[in-house]
Every structure is written in C-alpha cells, then in structure tokens.
Structure 1
Amino acid sequence: MIHSVLIFNNDGLPRLLKFYTPVDIPTQQLLLKQIHKLVIGRPSNQCSFLTPPPLLEDEKYSDLKIIYRHYATLFFVFVVDEQESELGILDLIQVFVEVLDKCFENVCELDLVFGWQVLETCLEEIIQGGMVTDTTIVKIVNAVDEANKQVKASSSSGMINLGGNNNQGQNRGVFSTTSLWNAMDSRLSGWGR
C-alpha cells in the first residue's frame, strides 16, 4: 500500500502532501523535514530506496520504505509498505511526472504551486485510497482534460452542481448563481425605502 505521496523542492517547501493513512499535521510536518534531510544530502549515484527516518523507526512502521526520484528542483517521494515493489514505485513516479508534463505542457515547480487542482486530479486518477488504479498515461491525461473541461463549463455558465450526476435528465441539485443573485437583488431593491 502507498501510505503517502510527498512532493517538495530542494529547500524542503512542500508542493504536495497526500496521506492515505491517518497522520496528524505535526507528524506530517516532522516527517517532511526528516525525509527532506535524508534525500537532500544523497549523491545522485546512490539508489532511490531508503529506510524510514527516525520518526518512523517505531515498530508499527518497521515495514515502510521511502522511494523517491529527483527531477530538476523537485523531489517526488512515496512512502510505501513492503508489499510494494521498489522498481514498480519508481516506474509509477515516472508515470506521474509524465502525466503532469502532458497536462501542464512542460511542467515546472510553479505549475504545481498555481495549478494544484490539476496536480491533485492527476494523482487521484493514478492512486486512490493508497492503491494504484491506473498507469495508462493517455487515459489519465484524457480523464484530467475532461475534468478540466467540466470545471470550465460549469464556471463559465454560472451553474453550480450540488446533486451530482442525474440520469433522469432533471436539474435537481443545480442552480444558476446568476439567477440567484438577480432574485436576491430584486428582493433587496425595495428594502429600506
């Protein structure tokens, strides 16, 4: 199982912290600092598999491994248990980065900062609940593009969908923000006169 996915830059600033097992925020921050300290000093000719940092040396975490790849100014780190293959996770990191590169058209750190919704969507298309759901780059990119189209269409039409998909063709759970504001404006226009 994948327990967490961390993306941080050379300075240790987090760009993504996703935990699939419950971890309180102070522990997340400490874990980020310790993992950053472990990977930042490693020469590039050493392997990308690490034993857990001191925080995770507790017996209940003894089966965890840290697998990472360094791209430009970013570290992509996966904390996994012993059931996951190290080489499989390295390949998964490569798939994740290739998906990001296609979605952002030559991804850089600023894309992840300002396009965090796309970053989250890409990760959710690949991993859900700590399990890998898909690794087909074309399918993942198409799903992310479709999600982006739906977000743009809903925001440009002034519609907010609260009810999810509805197969009966009804507009249950959907309302227009424009008509809502017009209704409120007409009610308030005579108020106080």
Structure 2
Amino acid sequence: MIQAILVFNNHGKPRLVRFYQRFPEEIQQQIVRETFHLVLKRDDNICNFLEGGSLIGGADYKLIYRHYATLYFVFCVDSSESELGILDLIQVCVVIK
C-alpha cells in the first residue's frame, strides 16, 4: 500500500506532498527533509529502492524514487508493493503530465 507520495525539486523544495497516513505537520516536514537527503546523496547509477527513513516506518517501508530533469518522484510503500510496479506508476505519471 502506498503510504506517501513526495515530489520535490533538486533543491529540496516540495512540489507535491500527499500522505495517506496521518502525521502532524512538523513530522511531515521532517519526513520530506529526511527523504530528500536520503535520495539526494545517492548516485544516479545505483538502484532506485531504499529502506524508509526512521520517521516513516523504518525497515517495514521502502522508498522508491526516480529523478527526472529537476524533479524527484518518491513513493513510500509498505513491503507488500512491487518495486517495479511503482517505478512503472511513476513513469506513467510523468508521461501523462
């Protein structure tokens, strides 16, 4: 199940933030910052899957992301979701736009 969808630019400014689990506003902002730093420090040549940060659920959740031009598309999903399915969903979202 998808827990959150985050889209932010290369500088970490959120462009779209949607949580499907209730978090206080301060925690949401911390999650966006933590996710941005986790994704930004990764090289473009390595896989697009990583374990969720400590704020959003730890090892039970995965962050699946793609970097297109100046935007990062990040989906936080639980362990029952297919990584390749989510990557395909991101691709469909980008192509439709």
TM-score, length-normalised on structure 2? 0.94
Whole-Å Cα distance in 1 between the matches of residues 59 and 50 of structure 2?
12
Matched to 2:64, the amino acid is I
Whole-Å Cα distance in 1 between the matches of residues 88 and 51 of structure 2?
19
Whole-Å Cα distance in 2 between the matches of residues 50 and 62 of structure 1?
9
The number of equivalent residue pairs is 97
Deviation at 1:41, TM superposition (A): 1.3
Q: Which residue of 1 aligns with 2:13?
A: 13
1:91 lines up with 2:92 in the alignment: no
Q: Which residue of 2 aligns with 1:147?
A: none
Q: Which has the higher helix share?
A: 1
Q: Which residue of 2 aligns with 1:143?
A: none
Q: Percent identity?
A: 52
Q: Which has the higher strand share?
A: 2
Whole-Å Cα distance in 2 between the matches of residues 18 and 56 of structure 1?
13
Q: Which residue of 2 aligns with 1:3?
A: 3
Measured on the aligned residues, the alpha-carbon RMSD in Å equals: 1.1
Bigger radius of gyration among the two: 1
Matched to 2:25, the amino acid is I
Segments of structure 2 that go 5 or more residues without pairing to the other structure are: none
Matched to 2:15, the amino acid is R
Segments of structure 1 that go 5 or more residues without pairing to the other structure are: 101-193
Whole-Å Cα distance in 2 between the matches of residues 21 and 56 of structure 1?
10
Q: Which residue of 2 aligns with 1:67?
A: 64
Is the CA contact 1:67–1:86 (under 8 Å) kept in the aligned structure 2?
yes
Deviation at 1:62, TM superposition (A): 3.6
Q: Which residue of 1 aligns with 2:26?
A: 26
Whole-Å Cα distance in 2 between the matches of residues 12 and 26 of structure 1?
16
